[in-house]
Amino acid sequence: GWCPLSPAGAQTTQLLVEPPWRPAVLWDQVTLTCQGSGTASATTWYKDGQRWGQQGRDCLSVIVSGTYMSDRPGTGLSPPVMVSDDELVLQVPARALLEGDTVTLRWQC
């Protein structure tokens, strides 16, 4: 019989953040790259819920703080990424952490 694809195995649109620190901050010269199925020319960018920047490009250099998402036909809207303009922030590596991991923290002021 026919079996639908489970949500756990479904492809989704993701935003790759460079440099890979959280939270993302403007003084890091953040670049967002939209990853998903379909062509880059089909990418739509959103900032704070509104269409933003040049559409049809798979990457975006962030120069204004806000919450960013990208959309690709077929895989949909990415999870949001917030970029802050805070001058003082404690950052952690942007990866999954497990108990017992050694973590590097970055303090910028």
Q: Kindly list the domain boundaries of the chain, sorted by start residue.
A: 14-108
Give the CATH H-level superfamily of domain 14-108: Immunoglobulins (2.60.40.10)
- Residue 2's pLDDT is 42
Q: Are β-strands 89-93 and 66-72 bridged in parallel, bridged antiparallel, or unpaired?
A: unpaired
pLDDT digits (tens, 9 = 90+) for 52-85: 988 889 999 999 999 999 999 888 999 999 999 9
Confidence category of residue 10, pLDDT binned at 50, 70, 90: low
Could you give the CA distance from residue 100 to residue 76 in angstroms, rounded to a whole number? 35
12-43 pLDDT per residue, tens? 899 999 999 889 999 999 999 999 887 778 89
Angle at alpha carbon of residue 41, lines to 35 and 42, rounded to 5° = 70
